Amino acid sequence: MRLPTGLTLSSTFYYGLLTLLALAYLVPVAWVVSTSLRTNANLLRADQWIPDPITFEHYTSGLQEALPDLARYTFNTLRIAGLSTLGLLLSCSLAGYALARWRFPLRRLWFYGLLATMMVPGHVTLIPTYVLFRKLGWLNTPNPLIIPFFFGSPFATFFFRQFFLSFPRELEDAATLDGAGALRTFRSIVVPVSKPAFVALGVLHFTGMWNGFFLPIIYLQRKEQWVLTQAIRSLLGRYDSPWGEIMAGVVLMTVPIVILYLLVQRYFVQGITFGGIHG
């Protein structure tokens, strides 16, 4: 067998090498699962890759004891990730569509303005927005992590613009001739056929919010507002930590995201490579 670069490999060697690399790469994953299934007595056994005996107590009673409000944190996380995704998709698809479809005064200015702000790290705008949200009484509410996304994001708008540019406009022209308004045309014709863009960007953003930590520790300091990352992190003790429960928590918070990606895999790969190629 030949790699396009000209390297010749036998098939056995190729798969052997890949398997070896994948196994080495996934050592930490195996380690998490293994640790989460061990009894407390075996937690520090370096030789127990396959736990003996296997126990699920860290997932059940263990986590319940360590994090009694786990359901609450899960709800908080879902609410933030879900609503902010909704807002982002709404505001950015509309703006991206306008930028891609219509010529209007100052269009280039807005487009290049948005493009330029993509390079500004969020940490520069963080402090004034923090002061603003504090004034609005939004500290220790999920609002700072949700509301801004209803008002767009340069990257997502740019992403949608690129997507709609590559999208034939004949369908919409027909609808417009029928007398449908722009918003109705957008909703009933454009959105349904743009599913890959919405799914890719939605999943990307949802995962980012689900996994997020920096903004939550700034805005959500009260325990009842915590998200999952904060909750699991809180299990770390200064001298001693319940590693069984921590690893069980890591598994539990990762599994939903993995399932989500498996469900939308084909859209997603289109979606993230899009930026790299056309960007």
Partner 1 sequence: MTVLAPLRRGIHMWQEVNPRERRRWLTAYAFMSLQLIGLFVFILGPLVVSLYYTFTRWDLIAPAPKWVGLSNWEHVPGDQRIGQVLGNTVWFILWATSSFLILSLALAVLLNVPRRGTTLFRALFFLPYITSQVAVGLVWSWMFNTRSGPIPVFFRHLGIEVPNLLLDENYAMIAVAIVATWQALGYGITIYLAGLQGIPGELYDAASVDGATGWQRFRYVTLSLLSPTILFLTVTSFIAAFQLFDLVVILTGGATGVQPGGPGGSTRTIVLYLYEQTFLFSERVSGLGYGATIGWLLAVLIFIVTMTQFRFARSTVFYLGDDER
Instruction: Kindly identify the residues of this chain, within the stretch 109-138, that bind partner 1 according to CB under 8 A.
Output: 109-110, 113-114, 117, 119-121, 123-132, 134
Q: Which listed range, 57-65, 68-76, 145-153, 163-171, lies at the site for partner 1 (CB under 8 A)?
A: 145-153
- Contact between 168 and partner 1 per CB under 8 A: no
Phi, psi of 177 (to 5 degrees): -65, -30
The reply to whether 20 sits near partner 1 by the rule CB under 8 A is no
**Which positions ≥6 away from 278 have C-beta within 8 Å?**
162, 166
Longest dimension (CA), the chain: 74
Q: Are 240 and 66 contacting, i.e. CB atoms less than 8 angstroms apart? A: no
The three-class DSSP label of residue 205 is helix
What's the CA gap between 126 and 103, in Å, rounded?
A: 33
Q: Which stretch binds partner 1 (CB under 8 A): 24-32, 56-64, 66-74, 187-195?
A: 24-32
**13 or 56, CB closer to partner 1?**
13
Q: Which of 76, 84, 153, 225 binds partner 1 (CB under 8 A)?
A: 153
70 binds partner 1 (CB under 8 A): no
Hey, which residues between 72 and 91 contact partner 1 (CB under 8 A)?
90-91
Q: How far apart are alpha carbons 161 and 230 in whole angstroms?
A: 35
Task: Determine if 7 is a binding residue for partner 1 (CB under 8 A).
Answer: yes
In the set 10, 12, 41, 46, which binds partner 1 (CB under 8 A)?
Answer: 46
Contact 22, 30 (CB under 8 A): no
Position 41 contacts partner 1 (CB under 8 A): no
Candidates 70, 86, 191, 257; binder of partner 1 (CB under 8 A) is 257
The pair of structure tokens assigned to 96 is 């991206």
